[in-house]
Amino acid sequence: MFRLRRLLLPFSWLYAAVMALRNKMFDLGILPAVQYSLPVISVGNLTVGGTGKTPVTEHLLQLLLPTWRCATLSRGYGRKTKGVIISGTSDDYITIGDEPMQMRLKFPQATIAVAEKRVDGMSALLNLPSSPEVILLDDAFQHRYVKPGLSIMVIDYHRPLWKDTCLPAGNLREVASGINRAHVIIINKCPAELQKLEAQKLTQQLKLKNKQPVFFTTIDYKDPVCLTSNPSEGQLTQKLAVGKTSFLAISGIGNPAPFYESLKRYKTPFRTKTFKDHHSYTAEDLKEITSMQNPDPNVRTLIITTEKDAVRLRNSPGMTQELLSSIWYIPIGLKFLFDEQPTFDKIITDYAKENK
């Protein structure tokens, strides 16, 4: 694989040059970027795959919704529809995508919109009878036709920019120096025991020109929740205490390794089944998942999945009530290290107040 990627380096150099030219055209105003007179916050990254942008966006919603009318605008990756959609009660992950649907379920008071062209999505949101007071652009760092007032870049601790290169030989969407367009940097998925000295070294390796604030966060894996709404299902820990139990861990996300690693805390044997990111589960998939359960009648198999997968699994074709009651998902949140959440939150709320 390493040798193959080296052969692709000339294509990476070409890709990097094209992206650099595109960014220069935006910087010079040759390509138009629309700026709006309300707070617009972008959450994005330089690396393809999961860096943990969704927990960051959800943290922003939790912070802002008590005070401001908020909307999220994303492409709606993986949806089967086109154009601008302002999410309503009839929508699901097929019409708006799994990540927007997850946010719709968790934050019903927020307006959730999807659009391939962010400018069209912004126009639709601003023309609503009760238009949002703050708009969050999800995965929008390279979508420069809308100019955010505050740009947050999320970096995966395990995939540092300085050890990577551009597509297709590497995983960067543009050259690492693009980080200088961001106003705030979050290094996410850090070990919970990360030391301050290492954090300082990581900040130095970013070689920031604009002295942007850098925050370090980790993923907070919360207590599992059963896909059924039946309260008699009880807590997962109670299930584990009764008889022999094994896990079947399934995921269709960009980087499932941290999710699988988090399951070790239960000290229960588990097998894994990995699907591609944003995978739409079929009846055949559910049959395969059922067949992978432990054949020993004395061992109960519980299926553990991610919060994003739960959105797609819940109404999958072929889903049975019996299978549904065996599936648990693990909600996640964002946890700031070094007690720096108040500092981050103040940056966000100050920006929203000053630009309302």
pLDDT tens, position by position, 246-290: 889 999 998 898 899 999 988 888 899 999 999 999 999 999 998
Q: Cβ of 294: how many Cβ atoms within 10 Å?
A: 17
Yes or no: say if 155 and 186 are a contact pair by the CB < 8 Å rule. Answer: yes
Q: Give me the residues paired with residue 304 across strands.
A: 249, 328
Alpha helices in the chain (DSSP H): 2-7, 9-27, 53-64, 93-96, 98-106, 118-126, 196-205, 236-240, 257-262, 283-291, 307-313, 321-324, 341-354
Closest by CA position to 116, among listed 77, 162, 60: 77
* Residues in the chain, total: 356
> What spatial distance separates the first Cα and last Cα of the chain, rounded to whole Å?
50
Q: Which fold has domain 2-68+133-220+335-354?
A: Rossmann fold (3.40.50)
Question: What are the boundaries of each domain within the chain?
Answer: 2-68+133-220+335-354, 225-330
pTM over 0.85, yes/no: yes
- CA distances to 144, 152, 195 from 191, rounded to whole Å, are 32, 21, 9
Q: Is 263 exposed, middle or buried (0-12, 13-18, 19+ CB in 10 A)?
A: middle
Question: Is the alpha carbon torsion for 142, 134, 152, 259 positive or negative?
Answer: negative
pLDDT tens-place string over residues 96-139: 999 999 999 999 999 999 999 999 999 999 999 999 999 999 99
H or E stretch at 41: strand 40-44
> 281-339 pLDDT, tens per residue?
999 999 999 898 877 777 888 899 999 999 999 889 989 888 888 899 999 999 999 99
Token output for 33: 């970027």
- Strand 244-251 versus strand 111-114 pairing type: unpaired
pLDDT tens digits, 158-174:
999 999 999 999 999 99
DSSP class per residue in 296-328: -TTEEEEEEEEHHHHHHHTT-TT--HHHHTTEE
pLDDT at 231: 42
Q: What pLDDT score does 232 carry?
A: 44
* Cβ contact 219:258 at 8 Å: yes
